[in-house]
Amino acid sequence: MTFQMHENVSLAGDDVAEMARLTYWQDVRKRFFRNKIAVIGLVMLAAMVLVAIVGPFLTPGDYKSARNIPDLPRRLFNEAGIFGTDQLGRNLWHRCIRGIGISLRLAVSVALISTVVGMVFGGLAGYIGGWVDSLISRIIEMIYSIPYVLIGIAAIAIFGSSFYTVMFTLIFTGWVGTARLFRASVLQIRSNDYIEAARATGAATPRILLSHVLPNALPPIIVSIAFAISGAILSESIYSFLGIGFIEPTPALGVMIRDARTQFQPYPHLLWVPASILIWLTLSIVFIGDGLRDALDPKMRGVD
C-alpha cells in the first residue's frame, strides 16, 4: 500500500497561500459556490422551502381527519394525488407538504434559539471562567447525561404534545452542544495576544466579546447552525417515531413514518414517501453544512 502526502504541508518561511491572497470572505464564498455538492444541497433545500410555503395555498382542504370516502386503492398515483391516500384515506401529498413545513419551521427555530442560548452560556463560561465556568460546565454535563427519551416523555406528559413542547424539548437538549463548542473556541481565542492587547487598552468586556471574540468564533458556529437544523429535523422524527413528539393527526414526517410501520408489509410506500422526504431535507442541509465547513476552514485555503 502506498501513501501520499496530499496535504498543504507548511513550508516554514514560505507560505504558499501567502503568495496568492484573497480576502477571507471572498475566498469562502468562492469555495462554497464552486463546491458542486453544496450547490446541489442549496437547490434541494430551496425546492423544499418553496413547497412548504406555496404548497398549502395550492392544496386547501382537510388533511387531518379520517375520510369515509369510498376506499381508494392505497398506492402511488391513485385518483387523490401522486402519493395516493394513507391508511385513513387522507391525501398523503397534502400531508407531506404540511410535514415539510412543520419540520422546517421547527428545525430553524430550534437551531437558532439553541445556538443563541448555547453561545450565551458557552461564551460566559469560556470568557469569565472560574466558578461561572464550573457551574455552567456541570449543568451542561448533567443535561448531557439524562437520556433524551426521558426528557421528551416528561415534557409531553407535563405540557401535552404541541409544536412548542417539541420545540422546547429540542432546545433543552440542543443548546448544550453549541455551548460546549463555543466555550472551547472562546477559551482558545481568549488566550490569543490580540485579546490581551484589547484588554490592555482598557476596552470593556462586552466590547471585546463583540468585536474580537465573536467574529473569530463565528465560522464553527455557522457550521454548527447548519448541522443543528438537520439534527433537529432528525430529532423531531425520532421523538415522533418513539411516540414522544408529535402525535396523530399532526402531519409531522415522524408521525407518518411511525403510523406507516404497521402498514409496511402491504403498503411500503406509506413509509418510504415520508422517509424519503425526510432524508431529502436532512441531506440537503448536510450538503450545505459540509460545504460551509470546507469553505470556512482557514486551513483549507488555497488548497484543493
The answer to whether 29 and 22 are in contact (CB under 8 A) is: no
Least distance between other proteins and beta carbon 243 (Å): 7
Q: Which residue, 22 or 72, is less far from other proteins as judged by CB?
A: 22
Dihedral angle computed from the Cα positions of residues 44, 101, 258 and 243, in that order, rounded to the nearest 10 degrees: 130
Least distance between other proteins and beta carbon 119 (Å): 19
Q: Which residue, 6 or 60, is less far from other proteins as judged by CB?
A: 6
Cis peptide before 249 (omega within 30 of 0): yes
Least distance between other proteins and beta carbon 88 (Å): 21
Q: Which residue, 68 or 145, is less far from other proteins as judged by CB?
A: 145
Q: Which residue, 105 or 138, is less far from other proteins as judged by CB?
A: 138
Least distance between other proteins and beta carbon 157 (Å): 4
Q: Which residue, 5 or 58, is less far from other proteins as judged by CB?
A: 5
User: Which distant-in-sequence residues (6+ apart) come within 8 Å of 91 by Cβ?
Assistant: 59, 61, 63, 80, 81, 83, 85
Least distance between other proteins and beta carbon 182 (Å): 16
Least distance between other proteins and beta carbon 98 (Å): 19
Residues of this chain that interact with other proteins (CB under 8 A) are 1-22, 30-31, 138-139, 141-151, 153-154, 157-158, 227, 230, 234, 237-238, 241-244, 254, 257, 261, 264, 268, 271, 275, 278-279, 282-283, 286-287, 290, 299, 302-304
Q: Which residue, 105 or 261, is less far from other proteins as judged by CB?
A: 261
Q: Which residue, 18 or 71, is less far from other proteins as judged by CB?
A: 18
Least distance between other proteins and beta carbon 275 (Å): 5
